[in-house]
Amino acid sequence: MKIIMLGAPGAGKGTQAKMIAEKFGIPHISTGDIFRSNIKEGTQLGTEAKKYMDQGLLVPDELTVKILLDRVAKEDCAGGYVLDGFPRTIPQAEVLDEALEKLNEKIDYAVNVDVPDDNIVKRMSGRRACLKCGATFHMEHIPPKQEGICDSCGGELVLRDDDKQETVQNRLKVYHDQTQPLIDYYTKKGVLKSVDGTMEMKAVFQLISEIIKEEK
């Protein structure tokens, strides 16, 4: 089963994608997480990506597409995957579709987690991410047991560089200009499912679970 998560920055794509991955036993693939781990390791890709990410801009398609196609070609993706943060532009979606067509495969669901812009800014300022394992917490909604420390691995929790308020505004603008058109794209393909992402996380997951039926 192949699932795409769509939604504004901070809509809860990552939160829901992790739960889906666990429930269905498929890998959770976040291009944002791949870029952040490259930044942490100081790779050339990380240095290049950081220039864009810190401004709230998209990393160019040429860099992003290759990474994603390499990742989904790995053995653990044979039974499907949940993509979080990819595609983010129409050209990215087209490249993915072409690659899948060659394998006689297709996307089963594009889940749009719908949250209005004003809710987003509040969420982002409360988010804390683990530097070591990428787990996310929220100061109000999912506080860690011990302040500043990751419950899963004991790593340090930080405010992401691109979660600063001005950058969040840029990311929202980029989302509306470049990513929102994908909602029409996947509607036309008949795979778009929208859920109200303003509800409590478990309630959002319940809705998504009702949509995703394993037998598809």
Is the Cβ of residue 15 or residue 186 nearer to Mg ion in the bound state? 15
Q: How many CA atoms lie within 13 A of 200 on its CB side?
A: 5
Residue 14 in the binding site for Mg ion (CB under 5 A): yes
Residues 130 to 189 in contact with ligand AP5, rule: CB under 6 A: 136, 138, 141-142, 162, 171
Q: Of 31, 39, 72, 95, which lies in the binding site for ligand AP5, with binding defined by CB under 6 A?
A: 31
Q: How far is CA 100 from CA 103, 108, 216, in A?
A: 5, 11, 17
Which residues ranging from 179 to 208 are in contact with ligand AP5 (CB under 6 A)?
197, 199-201, 204
- Residue 19's binding partner out of ligand AP5, Mg ion, none, with CB under 5 to 8 Å set by partner kind: none
| CA distances for 69 relative to 108, 126, 175, angstroms | 17, 33, 22
On whether the CB atoms of residues 107 and 3 are closer than 8 A, the answer is yes
* Site for ligand AP5 contains 112 (CB under 6 A): no
Q: Which is closer to Mg ion, CB of 14 or CB of 197?
A: 14
- DSSP three-state, residue 81: strand
Q: Rounded CA gap, 163 and 43, in Å?
A: 22
Q: Segment near ligand AP5 (CB under 6 A), from 29-37, 95-103, 187-195, 208-216?
A: 29-37
Indicate the residue among 24 and 52 with the shorter CB distance to ligand AP5: 52
Q: Is 134 in the site for Mg ion (CB under 5 A)?
A: no
Strand locations in the chain (E): 2-6, 28-30, 81-84, 109-114, 127-130, 136-138, 157-158, 192-196
Q: Catalytic residues, which ones?
A: 13, 88, 127, 160, 171
Which residues sit opposite 5 in a β-bridge? 84, 111
Is-cis flag, bond preceding 181, omega within 30?
no
Residues 37-56 within binding reach of ligand AP5 (CB under 6 A): 52-53, 56
For ligand AP5, the binding residues in 64-93 under the rule CB under 6 A are 64, 85-86, 88, 92
Task: For residue 204, give the H/E element and its range.
Answer: helix 201-211
Q: How far apart are CB 12 and Mg ion at their closest, in Å?
A: 8
Return residues touching ligand AP5 (CB under 6 A): 7, 9-15, 30-32, 35, 52-53, 56-59, 64, 85-86, 88, 92, 123, 126-127, 136, 138, 141-142, 162, 171, 197, 199-201, 204
